[in-house]
Homo-oligomer: A and B are copies of this chain.
C-alpha cells in the first residue's frame, strides 16, 4: 500500500489554477492512540473549498504547504479505538489523500448503504444544506415563488425539487442553455434563466410574474443584486454561498443593499449545515420520502481519481458540473 496526497503549493491571489496544487507520494500515516487509519473513498468537492483558501471562515484558513482539506467518506483500515473496527464506513474531516489518520471520536460512523455516494449527495451535505436552508430560513409555502441560483449545482437542484414537492413555483438560474434545459427537463423546475445571456432582469420579470418570495442564493454578486429587485415584501433570502465572490480578489457588493432590505422588509440570513444537525433525522426521512415518490432525483457528478481533484474543484468554480460533484479515490468496499 502506498499513499499520495495533494498539498496547496501557493495560495491563489485570484483565480484558482492547477499549479496552486502539488501531488506527491507521502508516507503511509500511522494511527496513534485512540486513532484510526482511514482509506479515503469519496471526497466532497464544494465551492466553499475555495473560500477556505481566502482566510479564516467558519474553519481555520488553509496555509501554504498544507494538504488540501475536504469532507470524505472513508473505510476504517486499522483502529486503535474500541469505537471503530476495520471495515466500518465513516465520514471524516480529511485531506486530499489516499490514506489519513483521524481521532476515532472525531469521525461519524455511517450506515452501510448500497451506494456510498448517496451519503454525500441526497442524504449528505448537499441534500441537507438544501433542506435545512430552504425549510428553516426560506420557509416556503405552497403557491409562493422560489428562485434558486446555481440551480444545476449540488445544492440548487435539491432546493428546487423540494420546493416543487411543497407546491411552489420554482425558477432556477444557471449558466448556459444546456444546463438550463437540464434543470427544467430533468430537475422539473418551472423555468430556468441563463445568466450568461443579456437581460437578466427582463428574464426574471418574465419568469417570476408574481415576484419572488424566497431567493436561495448560492452565488452573491450581480445575480443577488438583480434578484433582490424582484423580491416581494417580507421575502426571505437564504444566504447559502457566494461562489461568484470566492475566486476573485475584487468582490463587489449588491448596490441596492441595505435599501431594498428596509423598503421591502426582507430577511437575509446565512447558515451552515451543521447549525441544523439537530434536525438531520427529520431531513433524511423527508428526503427518503421524496426520493421514493420520484419527486427528488439523485444527481451526482463523480470525477475519477485523486489526481483529478484540482481539476474537479477548478471546474466546479467555472460551473461545469451538474449535480453534486465528488472525487472517487477508491472503489466502494464490496
Contact = CB atoms under 8 A, between A and B. Distances in A.
A88 interface: no
Interface in A266-289: 266-272, 275
Interface string A46-65: 00000100000110000000
Given A242-B259, A245-B259, A265 B254 contact: no
Q: How many copies does the complex hold?
A: 2
Interface string A207-222: 0000000000100100
Contacts of A51: 259, 263
A251 B259 contact: yes
A146 to B, nearest CB: 17
Given A251-B259, A254-B257, A268 B265 contact: no
A217 B269 contact: no
A266 B266 contact: no
A100 interface: no
Interface of A: 51, 57-58, 217, 220, 224-225, 233, 239-242, 245, 251-259, 261-272, 275
Given A239-B262, A253-B256, A254-B258, 9 more contacts: A217-B258, A220-B259, A241-B262, A253-B253, A253-B254, A253-B257, A262-B272, A266-B269, A266-B270
